[in-house]
Structure 1
Amino acid sequence: MNYYSYHTHTSYCDGKAKAEAFIQRGIDLQMKAIGFSSHAPFPLDVSWNMVENQLMNYVDEIKFLSTKYQNEIDVYLSLEIDYIPEFTKSFAHMKEVCALDYTIGSVHLIKSPIKNEFVFLDGPDTNYSHGLECLYQGDIKQMVTAYYHQVNEMILQEKPDIIGHIDKVKMNNKGRYFSEDEKWYQNLLLETIDIIKGTECIVEINTRGLYTKKSKSFFPELNFAKECKKNKIPMTISTDAHHPDELLSYFNEAVEMLKESGYDSVRIYDKGVWKNAAI
């Protein structure tokens, strides 16, 4: 089986190395393809995004490296684009301006009922608890519902090629505020799956939560993947690497989970076309 990952962060955003270091490590690992998806420039003051004046430098560098290494590994250009209603640019606009091979759509900040205030899902879990108490008055059901409705809106309006770490809202919960077995939570997952199946979006199995020990399961976990299989939703595997040594972290374990979910193939990107590849 070929190895690949389409979700990779460089030093243009919060990654820890330059793109060429990832490529060279990918060649060492005999990867078939690597896709770069640094965090797109953002209209809010956050520390993990790419700054606007570096965007075209990033684009030019990845395109240059794609040509330089074309006989050794397939190199693709993407962005992980956040979606916040009324704040972020359209994915189609970003794809056209940057001539992206594909887009990854993600939600890292939940738009709260308080204007211009957001819950940041990543980073220290105090971000999560602070947002819950101060912006949602401790109502975890309301906050998690807002997250999935924002994801659903992103899918319908922006139609990303890949949906990034779709159930990331569970990461800093750590069993404190809700159980993923609760019916209201399961209903939210089923609602999102129902929306995805009417699109051409791909759900990634994102391994980062496991190898960084921030989550006890993949994004998404086994039962979600099984429901995706029932609804014929395509999946791919991404390691969401921020360092070259993370490029294939838990990749084989993700393959095994997909097999357990009933999948015998995943989506891969090959010179402009998404197609199935056996696992």
Structure 2
Amino acid sequence: MKPQTLHCHTTFCDGADSPAAMAAAAFAAGCGAIGFSGHSPLPGQEAWAMDPARVADYRRAVMELKAEYAGRMEVYLGLEQDFYSPDTGPDWDYKIGSVHCLLMPDGTQLPLDESAATLASGVQRWFGGDWNALARDYYERMARVDTVTGGEIVGHFDLITKFNENMAQFDEGDPAYREAAFAALDELAGRGRIFEINTGAISRGYRTAPYPAAFLLRRLAEKGGRITFSSDTHSAGTVLYGYREAVQLARDCGFSSCWYLTARGFAEGPLPVV
């Protein structure tokens, strides 16, 4: 099967390149499909979220590419819907459900992937320095991310580990951390949600392995969970970044198939050839 990437950002949010440039790169890389997943509008996070005034233009640009590549490569109109974003309606080919920040009791938004310092400061301020308390808060939301956002795909499931290479911030082997993560994973897998194996933090130099971590992928395989592959690309040069290694990781963790978006919805198929 040809690979596809359904997690793709452009200049309509925090991406570096236009939809046309991203589509051209995906086609040149041999993708069977590209899905655009602009960040949903999110008040307070305007630096990376889509401007509500640009959503109609975003739709139009993707639909034009859908027509341009018809018969050569599938183009899908998607959205990365954040847990705290306003409802964007059902008129999308698919949605990725993600949690990029946590809403604190006083209304402050704690960004989870802005920087290591911002996250560490937030954990100190709001959770008394207890990273497992952060994990419980985060994974409680992740457990509901599909019902809140309408996302068929679970975005970067363990995003709070973005800056945790070599356990720099906390121990992912801590039973309390794993309990919180497993509880959310089991709920989402039980509802048939598709987890992306996401290589985006690798291409941007933060991690050396995809989301989710291998121990989570093994748990997902044991639960009969579903996966897809995404580069979470923000530039034309990374549309399939790290896919070969991600596919091998999936095999090593017990997966022999993955899920592809088609004109009739998501369908199971063999692992992609990259």
> With structure 1 as the length reference, what TM-score do the two structures score?
0.93
CA distance in 2, matches of 1:160, 1:201: 8
Question: What secondary structure is seen at the aligned counterpart in 1 of 2:22?
Answer: helix
1:182 and 2:174 are equivalent in the alignment: yes
Equivalent-residue separation in structure 2 for 1:162 and 1:50 (angstroms): 19
Question: Which of 122, 139, 144 does residue 148 from structure 1 map onto?
Answer: 139
What's 2:197 paired with?
A: 205
Q: Deviations over 1:245-278 (max 9, x none)?
A: 0001001111101111111110000113211111
The code of the aligned residue for 1:77 comes to L
Q: CA deviation at 1:159?
A: 4.0
Output the CA distance in 2 between the equivalents of 1:263 and 1:126: 35
Offset at residue 215 of structure 1 (A):
1.6
Amino acid at match of 1:125: A
What is residue 10 of structure 2 aligned with on the other side?
10
Aligned position for 1:125: 116
1:177: how far off?
3.4
C-alpha displacement of 1:194: 1.7
Q: Is the 8 A contact 1:128 1:173 kept in 2?
A: no
Query: Is the contact between residue 143 and residue 185 of structure 2 (CA under 8 Å) also seen in structure 1?
Result: no
Count of paired positions: 270
Alpha-carbon displacement from aligned partner over 1:122-141 (angstroms, at most 9, x marks no partner): 12211111211222222222
- CA distance in 2 between counterparts of 1:194 and 1:36 reads 28
TM-score (norm. length: structure 2): 0.94
Quick one: structure 1 residues 276 and 154, their matched pair in 2 at CA, closer, same or farther if it must change by over 3 Å?
same
- Asked whether the equivalents of residues 159 and 201 of structure 1 are also in contact (C-alpha less than 8 Å), the reply is no
Identity among equivalent positions (%) equals 25
8 Å CA contact retained: 2:102, 2:110 = yes
Encode CA deviations 1:207-257: one digit per residue, 9 max, x unaligned: 011222212321101111111111111100000000010001001111101
- 1:35 paired to 2:27: no
Select 2:246's aligned residue among 243, 254, 258: 254
Q: Which moved more, 1:187-196 or 1:74-83?
A: 187-196
Q: Which runs of 5+ in 1 are unaligned?
A: none
CA distance in structure 2 between the aligned counterparts of 1:49 and 1:158, rounded to whole angstroms:
15
For the 8 Å contact 2:146–2:152, the answer to whether it is kept is no
Q: Give the equivalent residue in structure 2 for 1:60.
A: 60
Task: Name stretches of at least 5 consecutive residues in structure 2 with no aligned partner.
Answer: none
Farther-moved stretch of structure 1 (152-161 vs 200-209): 152-161
Using the alignment, how far apart are the partners of 1:123 and 1:189 within structure 2? 21
Distance 1:218 1:157 in 2: 25
Structure 1 residues 186-265: aligned runs within 5 Å: 186-265=178-257
- The root-mean-square deviation of aligned C-alpha atoms, in Å, is 1.4
* Divergent runs of 4+, >6 A: none
Counterparts of 2:168 and 2:51 in 1: how far apart (Å)?
35
